Structure 1
């Protein structure tokens, strides 16, 4: 016997398979047949029958016992196949294995008239399937046009019935917070490459991964490109233009726009794959002789393994000469310790920053006026395109104008999002600068974190270029990033640590140390 329902949900929530099997068993009893085996599927009957595991198992069962005359019982002809071509191919396969087909609601006849009727019934099944598919797409399009997301919920969301909305995307924690941090981190430059963002997600236990504990490259790009996270919906293939959705956004439209610009811009050098917690300075610290990044590994001793950094440039004087990890990383921590600024210099820098921060209100007001001007220009273009569509006599011209109109509508939404962002009142400098000040006051504190991402952040934010270390002469003078240079001096070790005061600096573009 063969029983099939169209989806796994019908198998779990319904009794379709059990009902079919019950009717088929009664049919077998009435005709004196002994049921030897039951095969089931929970997939659609359209398309290639070889993609149905239950059908493949049935055909293999018949192939191995082709000398035995079997009768294969179906509850309904539609359970056999809902595609005319594959119906005929499956029939031929059954005949090849000496199996006779019997159906509860259709009688197979090996006559010209019987075959004709059979083909008509198979074609009718295909017609119904395609009509159902069309109706489903039409309903989904209607929901999309109203701003409702209709596909599988993106990670960070789940569906929930909400009042008059029906099924609506709602935030799903803790996934939502993790995805939000990843998307905003990529937009801000915290994650310089998709590889860094992917590594962050792989370090979060709640995010689903493959059997190797990894996240596919395409999946990272899909997350960044997904407009649903910004609270918008779109489906170009169905003619649904970019529009505001009914669900709560995870990130701002401006953050989404920045991510698209980064994706479409010049790709950065991918993050090194050999970074690990055992050697956080790998790729950043360079040889004092040749300037190439040190590699790192463990060397086996008599009783244990010893960690070393080593230069592998053959023409270098330090080639193959190992440096103990404790010596090199100890010297680096000394550099971090000396980076604490004095109280006087820090207070002066704070006063200067507050003055610059207050001037941002003027800049924000200017930006809002520019966005308003851009919005007015876009609206004028939209009106012109609509007038041209009304006067157009060619279908090709109308199609091109429709595409242009959709693009202008998308630009309008993005500009409105920028206006909303600039219209928000600025928070005070003190209210948003706790993290920045903590780092500037004591970068060593972040370095002592157990997370590799935090250690790599110190290297990016505190240094303008890789740090050189010579195996005999020790550490070379580091080139610090602009925020630390702006403090005018680096306090000596005996100076007191600056007490927590809130501050945030605009940092320069982060250098890429992973390319070494």
Structure 2
């Protein structure tokens, strides 16, 4: 072991930067640990004192300022005024897989008085050394762009075959395809009924605006909220209403893939999806009059379910000898779904409420005196 010292006679300080391209590589393998181990062995062999390790498990697309570990490393150097460091990389391609960012990152280290050393490449400040270093950086950029193109081509092919390849929309989750060969969407047992009710409610006019859809979803404790105060951004609701994936279809306009039938189960019909788009684009919605809307059930649509808060429906039920009238909730996922309340009980209770709201005789007399004075 050689004990290298800096110009002041002190032991050389070192920092280790190690990176894998994704969190999956970090979880499923020992990529970060093995890289760190090799860098520590290199530092021990050189006699360096390792003062910090900065790992990353994100790609950053070549831009080192989008990597938290690299940002932390540069911030650490900024805080160590007057100290010099050697930054150790296990692979030059892990430095910056983009020629422009590679050169920029070299300058960032130089302005902070830090030098870099690599396990698989000897960095030399000579014209020949800089040329070879730039060529290797360009090769890394080429490989990154080729990998990206290959991934997009595979994803595009799956969309063309009817598979959704993006993040699972709210109301769905990814499971292994029965026939093998990748993942497929399936309705989430908790969120799918909620999304269906919101979409069908907007299409039918029961939820007359995007704001009403937003309030409907915000009332559910299960629907994920995207604001700290437990509410939704209007854009979240708008995007939900426009996703054709909920109708069982897929598309990828940016890749030139038109709308087509998907391999997954839709939460609504395509006809319902079209009604939603008509409403969003300002085309008039026509809601046919209910054939069963008559005097038999005057409270239909006005009384709310005590469990979920949605409007209750009503209908006649045929018994063995005669028909019976009931009010009931038909909201999917509601604990009181299909539990019937007799018509007489419901309407008698409503009548008692109205009686309780009737003004007292004295109030009428007071109002009469006030009106006469006026």
TM-score, with structure 1 as normaliser: 0.54
Query: Would the alpha carbon gap of residues 451 and 181 (structure 1) be closer, same or farther in structure 2, given more than 3 Å must change?
Result: closer
Cross-structure match for 2:70: 55
Residues 427-469 of structure 1 deviation map (CA, whole Å, 9 limit, x = unaligned): xxxxxx7xx78992445981584766549x9xxxxxxxxxxxx
Distance in 1 (CA, whole Å) between partners of 2:223 and 2:166 is: 20
Greater relative contact order (Cα < 8 A, sep 6+) = 1
1:141 aligns with 2:134: no
1:93 aligns with 2:108: yes
Question: What does 1:271-420 correspond to in 2, within 5 Å?
Answer: none
Unaligned runs of 5+ residues in structure 2 are: 1-15, 314-341, 347-374
Cross-structure match for 1:386: none
Distance in 1 (CA, whole Å) between partners of 2:77 and 2:37 is: 22
2:275 to 225, 244, 258: 258
Query: Would the alpha carbon gap of residues 242 and 68 (structure 1) be closer, same or farther in structure 2, given more than 3 Å must change?
Result: same
1:65 shift after superposition: 1.5
1:446 aligns with 2:306: no
Distance in 2 (CA, whole Å) between partners of 1:241 and 1:445 is: 43
Distance in 2 (CA, whole Å) between partners of 1:438 and 1:125 is: 76
Name the structure where helix makes up a greater proportion of residues.
Answer: 1
SS in 1 for 2:86: strand
1:172 aligns with 2:188: yes
SS in 2 for 1:213: coil
SS in 2 for 1:46: helix
1:5 shift after superposition: 1.5
Distance in 1 (CA, whole Å) between partners of 2:41 and 2:61 is: 27
Maintained 8 Å contact 1:109/1:115? yes
1:162 shift after superposition: 2.1
Maintained 8 Å contact 1:108/1:118? yes
1:127 shift after superposition: 0.3
2:204 to 164, 188, 200: 188
Cross-structure match for 2:38: 23
Residues 12-33 of structure 1 deviation map (CA, whole Å, 9 limit, x = unaligned): 2322111111111111111111
Residues 230-281 of structure 1 deviation map (CA, whole Å, 9 limit, x = unaligned): 011111110101110111111100000001111111699xxxxxxxxxxxxx
Unaligned runs of 5+ residues in structure 1 are: 269-352, 358-432, 458-495, 501-516
Aligned length: 298
Distance in 1 (CA, whole Å) between partners of 2:164 and 2:110 is: 46
1:66 shift after superposition: 3.7
Distance in 1 (CA, whole Å) between partners of 2:187 and 2:61 is: 35
Cross-structure match for 1:151: 166
1:203 aligns with 2:219: yes
Cross-structure match for 2:141: 126
Maintained 8 Å contact 1:439/1:445? no
Query: Would the alpha carbon gap of residues 453 and 164 (structure 1) be closer, same or farther in structure 2, given more than 3 Å must change?
Result: closer
Cross-structure match for 2:238: 221
Query: Would the alpha carbon gap of residues 258 and 37 (structure 1) be closer, same or farther in structure 2, given more than 3 Å must change?
Result: same
CA RMSD of aligned residues (A): 2.8
TM-score, with structure 2 as normaliser: 0.74
Distance in 2 (CA, whole Å) between partners of 1:70 and 1:439 is: 85
Query: Would the alpha carbon gap of residues 225 and 112 (structure 1) be closer, same or farther in structure 2, given more than 3 Å must change?
Result: same
